[in-house]
Structures are given as C-alpha cells and as structure tokens.
Amino acid sequence: MTGLARDGIASARRIVVKVGSSSISGENVGQIAPLVDALASAHARGAEVVLVSSGAIATGMPYLALDARPDDLATQQAAASVGQNILIYRYQESLRRYRIVAGQVLLTAGDLENSTHRLNAQRAMERLLGLRILPIVNENDTVATHEIRFGDNDRLAAMVAELTGADLLVLLSDVDALYTRPPHLPGAERIAHVPFGDELAGIEIGSIGRAGVGTGGAETKVSAARIAAASGTGVLVTATSLVDEALAGEPVGTWFEPATD
C-alpha cells in the first residue's frame, strides 16, 4: 500500500476527524460552527468525511444539574443519553447551512471486535458515505460498560479509520501539536514529523484536554496515531481551532507518517 504523504492532505479522498469533549462542550461549544465549516469545505471538494465526536456526557451534564463528570456508570449513561441527542442536534443545525445531512453511528468496542457486527458497521458506513451523508460516530455510552469501553475516542477514531480505509485521520484537541515535553514547560519544542515506527524515545508525553471533561490525552493520541498509521492511514494531531488549516494541508500540528507496505 502507498500511504498518504503530508503534502497530499488537501487532496485526501477519505478523512476521519476526531474532536474531543473539551473542544466542543461548555464554554467551547462555539467551536462547533468553525469545525463544521472546515468539514464542509473538505466535503465540497469531494472528500468523504467522517466525524468522530466525543462530548455526549459533557453535553448532557448541565441538563442533569451536574457540575462535574459523574463517576458512576448509571449517571454517565443517563448524561450520555441526554447529551448525545443535543450534540447531534447542534451538529445538524450547523451542517444545515451547507445542506449536508448527518448520520448518527453509535458503536461499542464489542461491535468492532465481533466480526458480524464489524461487517454491519462497515457496510452502513460505506453506504452513508456513498450517499454523501456525513457520519458522526461516538461511543454508545448509554449501553457501554466499563469492561467493554474503548477508553477514549482517540482509539475509536483510529479503529474507524481502519474500518473505513481512510487516507487521513485528524486528531483534534486543545493543543496545537505534540511537544517534546508538556507544552507549558520551558524548553518544550513542537514535533512536526514522526516517521513510521519512531518510538519517540526521550519524549515526555503530557496530557491534553480540559480536566474533568474529557478522557483522552497526548498519550492516547500517540497510541491511536500508531494504530492508524500501521493500517496505512496518515495521522495529523493538532488543535480544534486549527482544523481548517489542517485540512487545507498547511504546516500545522504533528504528522505521523503511515506504513507504506
């Protein structure tokens, strides 16, 4: 296989974009519109776009009068049930400006580990993309249990990229790139390029995201990037605020080179 090169991002055929809870909930809910602008721009040039969006629990929390992410599974499930509905509504309202229809796809880890369920999910995604629908994927938090959870949606996004044979996976967070050490520390330098198989020896991987809302971090993004890169998908890690530049192929973020054979 021939993996996507960084200079080919702007012409990627099939793209999976993952956005975290902290980027599109609470005080950052206003980032949904510019995110949709960037997705719609890629869609308009003919790309097939899949959005993997966290945020169901975080979005539902205010409606359950919760000021912190609940610890117990039942309340997480209740918050997700309320929040998923509102989250999809917000995306669809924004997509309506471009006459793009969203399709909701909720998955559990068990769905992608069971061959029959995996095939069904793959077939549904292919049909949605063929119809020019924009699938919005999230973990099915309302029925998922601690034992079968993905753990974070970075891993889910990598598995969706593999499932759909995506050329490009863009992992978005609150930080513009991976750094040689946590970016708030002195001496931190942006890592622009990670060759396939590079173990990032000596790099201090810190956390990414707003505490108390999301579950992912820089470590999960590196792990997810390696999963996707191993399946031949090029991966870009950058900030949600830079998604338009990222999809246009500008030199932002951290690029993980995909496997080529």
CATH number at residue 80: 3.40.1160.10
Which residues touch 28 (CB under 8 Å, ≥6 apart)? 22, 210, 240
Q: Which residues of the chain have pLDDT under 70?
A: 1-2, 144-151, 205-216, 261
Structural domain contains residue 1: no
Q: Does 174 carry a binding-site annotation?
A: yes
The confidence score (pLDDT) of residue 185 equals 86
Instruction: Name the one residue in this structure whose structure tokens are 């917000």.
Output: 90
The confidence score (pLDDT) of residue 167 equals 96
Whole-angstrom CA distances from 63 to 24, 75, 84, 162, 212 are 16, 12, 12, 35, 17
Tell me the residue range of the domain where 138 lies. Answer: 6-256
The confidence score (pLDDT) of residue 2 equals 66
Q: Does 173 carry a binding-site annotation?
A: yes
Structural domain contains residue 83: yes
The confidence score (pLDDT) of residue 206 equals 56
> If 0-12 CB within 10 Å is exposed, 13-18 middle and 19+ buried, where does residue 165 land?
middle
The confidence score (pLDDT) of residue 138 equals 92
Mean pLDDT of the chain, nearest integer: 89
Q: What is the count of structural domains for the chain?
A: 1
Q: Does 18 carry a binding-site annotation?
A: yes
Q: Contacts for 92-101 with beta carbons within 8 Å, 24 or more apart?
A: 94/32, 94/33, 94/36, 95/36, 95/40, 95/134, 97/36, 97/40, 98/36, 98/40, 98/43, 98/44, 100/40, 100/43, 100/132, 100/134, 101/133, 101/134
Q: Does 152 carry a binding-site annotation?
A: no
pLDDT digits (tens, 9 = 90+) for 77-126: 899 999 999 999 999 999 999 999 999 999 987 788 889 999 999 999 99
Structural domain contains residue 91: yes
Structural domain contains residue 261: no
